[in-house]
Amino acid sequence: MGKVGGDRRAETYDAELGEEVARAQNGDEWAFAAAYRRVHPPLLGYLRGLVGDDAEDVASEAWLEIARDLGRFRGDGAGFRAWTARIARNRAIDHLRRLKSRPRGTLLEQELGELPAGRDTAGEAFETISTERALALIATLPRQQAEAVLLQTVIGLDGAAAARVLGKRPGAVRSATHRGLRRLEKHLATLERSRVTDSDSRALGEAT
């Protein structure tokens, strides 16, 4: 039931976003502002995973391009999220090339719990831990795995859309996501064992 309800919420979210984008393409500035408010927080979170503290500047560049090319976009709400993610990723790559740097592993500001629900099992891997810990764990993954997980848990794309954004085959993205989640699960298991051990040690100390 939770999965079905989540799917419906995601469908409603994308339907409303699609309507806002369509109105914005017809010159409705209020609709564009509404679409921006929906899409910007997770997009900024994704960029923080790529360029760290420079995410605000890169996001500004991305939104300038999004606004400029909005009339060329064709698709629904889910397609708009993928389209904006692809633009943001391209601007992030350009930024990193200018810096001659690699993406920095930094925490993301946008909480996963505030994002549209109903995505696949990628989001479920973090249900039992705090947002801060989840984001910190994602930042420790290899870049390809981290980006595949980020696109699905932060932007909310499905596997096929994430593959299009990354310019990779869906199977490769599924594999990267799977490996990333397996790494996270193992790390979570280790943390849980450590937590239980610490709890038992404190209990024994109090008893003595």
SS (H, E, C) 70-115: HHHCCCCHHHHHHHHHHHHHHHHHHHHHHHCCCCCCCCCCCCHHHC
* Both tokens assigned to 45: 């979170």
Q: What is the DSSP letter of 155?
A: I
- 106-110, 139-143, 172-176: least confidently modelled range: 106-110
Arithmetic mean of pLDDT, 35-42: 93
Question: Which amino acid type is present at position 147?
Answer: E
Q: What sign does the CA torsion over 199, 204, 207, 208 have?
A: negative
- Cα torsion through 38, 39, 41, 42, rounded to 10: 120
Q: What is the DSSP letter of 127?
A: T
Cβ-Cβ contacts under 8 Å for 30 (sequence gap 6 or more) = none
Q: What is the pLDDT of residues 65-93, one digit of tens each?
A: 999 999 999 999 999 999 999 999 999 98
Highest mean pLDDT among 95-99, 188-192, 195-199: 95-99
**pLDDT for the residue numbered 208:** 55
Return the H-helix or E-strand segment holding 27: none
* Both tokens assigned to 162: 């994430």
Is 50 in contact with 147 (CB distance < 8 Å)? yes
**pLDDT for the residue numbered 113:** 35
Question: Which amino acid type is present at position 175?
Answer: S
- Whether the predicted pLDDT of 173 surpasses 50: yes
